Amino acid sequence: MGILEIAKAGQINEEMRTIARAEGLEPELVRARIAEGQIVVPLNTNRPARVVGIGRGLATKVNASIGTSTDICDVAAEVAKARAAQAAGADTLMELSVGGDLDLVRREVLAAVELPVGNVPLYQAFSEAERKYGDPNKLDAEMLFDLIERQCADGISFMAVHCGINRETLLRLERQGYRYGGLVSKGGASMVAWMMKHGRENPLYEQFERVAGILKKYDVVLSLGNGFRAGAIADSSDRAMVQELVINCELAEWGRKLGCQMMVEGPGHVPLDEIAANINLQKRMSNHAPYYMLGPLPCDIGAGYDHVTAAIGAAQSARFGADLICYITPAEHLALPTREDVIEGVKVSRLAVHIGDLAKYPERRGRDAAMSKARRDLDWQRQYDLALFPDDARRIRGERCPEGDSHVCTMCGKFCANKGANAVFGGLLAESAKR
């Protein structure tokens, strides 16, 4: 049995206990929410991976994406990025290659990290059709299902599968007169082109039970891909995007009944004033299925700093109930990210979701309170211990440490506010320490 069926049977297994310990929750609560489809655990019967819970009542998680392109295909570089993402604190990883030997890249990345690894099967499917036939639109549906099975057998833990793209979503796009930002999902755009070329329904929607059956066999999470996500804030919450969200929420319910773990993906480019509404809509329509937010980016002109743009959106998303955030790097919209871009993207996203979680779970502010006391007391070692990025904090201080007084920093020096105030209020500090 997969973890969803185990939970529905009322049983608590070791993965549930691991999540409960990590999150400070009761194992029974974790079990009940897995049974309801409100928590998912990316797994694979063929590959042990770090146990990560994603969903209601849990800390918001961060995903890092790596992968080759048709212009840059360096397997060793992608493996290095994968390891760097893990070291920087990513909770999950997506391998999104479209260039080179895609089976080799996937297997090398899977062997290099302990994280649950996800992917998008349409990327390889259309890439292989292009190589084999010279035309991605010659993709055969059976080839696509065979590929999904092969990727699951390799050890993929969650798959972004574009099942919510169908004739209805395409009709909404056509009737609204297309978009400012067009279609920005590689998998989604390729599937739309295939459907229009052949005048056929999306086989991933048409044969949804088959998709869910393959993933259930390996206990893989089916992440319902967001192929019509907005690529511009002017397109946010348009009819095409909302139509796909409605369908994906319906499919999430259907998939759970089939015994497959389900997660819903979200936009995209979303202005700040629409983030809460988008998440509330998804949660209401899906019975709180885990929501995987891509970014989101609340403006369109931050190129070069889109990791910061996305962090603002991610903090808001975490605050209002998003469960997994896909990081954005400084290279977004510009180039294939480097290893350094990956590290920066992971760290900024981790900070963003922590900020959001402080609002979502006020009872979890103890670490921040402890940091405040350490700063007040000029306890530098304690500050490093509590910092989200201790090595960076230690390095910056080490490079610019004052020569005369090691208790202060070079920002204020002898005019350090806490040093002066502590001298005045030393008696109160002593009394506070006794209590």
pLDDT interval class at 406 (50, 70, 90): confident
Predicted pLDDT of residue 424: 83
pTM of the model: 0.95
- Residue pair 121/141 in contact (Cβ under 8 Å)? The answer is no
- In degrees, to the nearest 5, what angle opens at C-alpha 302 toward C-alphas 368 and 311? 20
| Residue-range definition of the domain harbouring residue 428 | 381-434
Q: What is the phi/psi pair of residue 104, to 5°?
A: -65, -45
In a domain, 291, yes or no: yes
Instruction: Please give the Cα distance from 220 to 238 (Å, whole number).
Output: 31
* Confidence band for 412, pLDDT divided at 50, 70 and 90: confident
Same domain, 292 and 331: yes
So what's the pLDDT on residue 353?
Answer: 98
**CA dist 109 to 76, 94, 154, 168, Å?**
9, 10, 11, 37
Residue 407 pLDDT: 84
Does residue 219 register a pLDDT over 90? Answer: yes
Asked if 149 and 214 touch (Cβ cutoff 8 Å), the reply is yes
Are residues 411 and 293 both part of a single domain? no
3 state DSSP class of 95: strand
31 and 49 both lie in a single domain: no
pLDDT at 435 > cutoff 60:
no
On the CB side of 370, CA atoms within 13 Å amount to 12
Residues 31 and 45 in one domain: no
Task: Please indicate, yes or no, if residue 401 is contained in any of the structural domains.
Answer: yes
Indicate whether 29 and 45 sit together in one domain.
Answer: no
Cβ atoms of residues 230 and 171 within 8 Å: no
Report in angstroms the alpha-carbon separations of 139 from 136, 189, 191, 207, 209: 6, 14, 10, 16, 20
245-259 pLDDT, tens digit each: 999 999 999 999 999
Q: Which of 363, 394, 415 is the last residue of a domain?
A: 363
| pLDDT, tens digit (0-9, with 9 covering 90-100), for 333-370 | 999 999 999 999 999 999 999 999 999 999 999 999 99
DSSP, res 339 = H
Name the 3-class secondary structure at 263: strand
What pLDDT is recorded for position 403? Answer: 81
Question: Among residues 159, 133, 154, 129, which one has the least CA distance to residue 141?
Answer: 129
Those residues whose C-beta lies under 8 Å from the C-beta of residue 251, and which sit 6 or more positions away, are 163, 164, 208, 224, 262
The DSSP code for 60 is: P
Domain-embedded: residue 299: yes
| Neighbour tally for 331: CB within 10 Å | 19
Pairing of strands 92-95, 61-66: parallel
In a domain, 241, yes or no: yes
Give residue-wise pLDDT tens across range 58-97. 999 999 999 999 999 999 999 999 999 999 999 999 999 9
Residue finishing a domain among 363, 391, 423: 363
Position 243 confidence tier, pLDDT thresholds 50, 70, 90 = very high
Looking at the domain assignment, is residue 368 inside a domain? no
| CATH number of 59's domain | 3.20.20.540
Q: How confident is the model at residue 414 (pLDDT cuts 50, 70, 90)?
A: confident
Element (H, E) at 221: strand 221-224
Mean pLDDT along residues 213-225: 98
| φ/ψ bin of 389: left (φ > 0), alpha (ψ from -120 to 50), beta (otherwise) | beta
Q: How far apart are CA 213 and CA 222, in angstroms?
A: 10
Residue 131 lies in a domain: yes
3-state secondary structure of 329: coil
Instruction: Give the chain's domain count.
Output: 3
**Extended strands (E) in 147-306:** 158-161, 221-224, 262-266, 291-294
Same domain as 199, residue 227: yes
- Which tens digit of pLDDT belongs to each residue from 308-325? 999 999 999 999 999 999
- Note whether residue 185 is domain-resident: yes
Residues in the chain: 435
Which residue, chain included where needed, has tokens 């390889």? 124
- Average pLDDT of 168-194? 94
For residue 305, with 0-12 CB atoms within 10 Å meaning exposed, 13-18 middle and 19 or more buried, which class applies?
middle
247 and 345 part of one domain: yes
Confidence of residue 48 (pLDDT cuts 50, 70, 90): very high
Q: Is residue 75 part of a domain?
A: yes
Residues 62 and 132 occupy one common structural domain: yes
Both 23 and 47 in one domain: the answer is no
Q: What is the pLDDT of residue 413?
A: 84
Same domain, 248 and 351: yes
**428 has pLDDT over 70:** no
For residue 426, pLDDT over 90 is answered with no
Q: Is residue 346 within 8 Å of residue 307, measured between CB atoms?
A: no
Boundary residue ending a domain (363, 389, 424):
363
Q: Are residues 421 and 311 in the same domain?
A: no
Q: Tokens 């402890």 sit at which residue?
A: 370
- Which string of b and e fits 260-274 if b means at least 16 CB within 10 Å? bbbbbbbbbbbbeeb
Q: Provide the pairing of β-strand 54-55 with 39-40.
A: antiparallel
Whether 208 and 274 map to the same domain: the answer is: yes
273-295 pLDDT tens trace:
999 999 999 999 999 999 999 98
Average pLDDT score over the chain = 95
